[in-house]
């Protein structure tokens, strides 16, 4: 895998628009496009090999709200889609797989209703990514507003024995802040887990991605990049 393939562009949906939040704060959104479908096509045209879509309304309200837009995106591009945001029931997950997503990212449900989470994993083996959102060294749930008493590694290890695809590790305090990725935290997870880890949060330049890419053999699969792409700090088709 080359470094360009390592980059997974993010499309965060809020009220039907493509936005970015600052450090996961609900009211901090900056709108980058009124047409998320065109954004998805743009990243595909620039060489993205997959997309990471988050329903922010779903994350805060507890069930997917923008699934019609996700369906439109899936019909418009030919690359795989991983989707997260508000997936807190088997029915919600089934809806998104029926729409056509390739993988789902689930965080809060795994903590709040482990039985339901395991049911999803058993019905969709190797299709579920455990979302590990961390704030100040602890896992955060419910749209990043509630911290629980687990470190990211402790939380991840609870689910190592199940047939999940892997993990998405987001440092919420860095997300949308362009202050650099949490390389140390991502590497620690990857070294101690048997399944792939995707990094997220804080990427500000190609240098950040190169630093993560150095550790790909530890099990770091890729890195979700949002604001740095939207603000031209990383130019995907020039890599």
Active site residue: 55, 57, 133, 175, which one?
Answer: 133
Instruction: Find all residues with CB under 8 Å of 171, minimum gap 6, and list them.
Output: 134, 181, 182, 185, 200, 201, 202
Q: Among this protein's residues, is 133 annotated catalytic? A: yes
**Among candidates 100, 12, 110, which has minimal Cα distance to 56?**
12
Interatomic CA distance for residues 194 and 239, integer angstroms: 30
Active site residue: 12, 171, 175, 208, which one?
Answer: 12
Helix, coil or strand: residue 100: coil
Cβ atoms of 120 and 101 within 8 Å: the answer is: no
- Cα-based torsion angle of the residue sequence 11, 95, 49, 190 in order, rounded to the nearest 10 degrees: 90
Helix, coil or strand: residue 199: strand
**DSSP state at residue 113:** -
Catalytic residue ranges: 12, 133
């Amino acid at each position: 895998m080359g470094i360009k393939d390592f980059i997974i562009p993010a499309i965060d949906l809020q009220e039907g628009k493509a936005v970015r939040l600052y450090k996961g704060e609900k009211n901090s959104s900056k709108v980058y496009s009124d047409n998320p479908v065109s954004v998805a096509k743009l990243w595909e045209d620039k060489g993205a090999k997959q997309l990471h879509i988050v329903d922010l309304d779903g994350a805060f309200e507890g069930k997917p709200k923008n699934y019609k837009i996700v369906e439109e995106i899936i019909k418009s591009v030919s690359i795989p889609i991983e989707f997260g945001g508000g997936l807190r029931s088997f029915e919600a997950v089934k809806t998104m797989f029926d729409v056509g997503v390739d993988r789902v990212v689930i965080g809060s449900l795994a903590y709040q209703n482990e039985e339901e989470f395991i049911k999803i994993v058993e019905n969709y083996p190797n299709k579920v990514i455990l979302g590990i959102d961390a704030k100040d060294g602890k896992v955060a749930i419910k749209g990043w507003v509630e911290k629980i008493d687990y470190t990211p590694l402790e939380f991840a290890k609870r689910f190592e024995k199940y047939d999940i695809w892997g993990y998405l590790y987001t440092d919420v305090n860095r997300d949308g802040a362009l202050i650099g990725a949490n390389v140390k935290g991502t590497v620690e997870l990857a070294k101690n887990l048997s399944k792939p880890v995707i990094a997220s949060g804080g990427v500000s330049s190609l240098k950040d991605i190169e630093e993560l890419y150095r550790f790909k053999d530890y099990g770091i699969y890729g890195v979700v990049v949002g604001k740095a792409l939207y603000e031209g700090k990383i130019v995907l088709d020039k890599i």
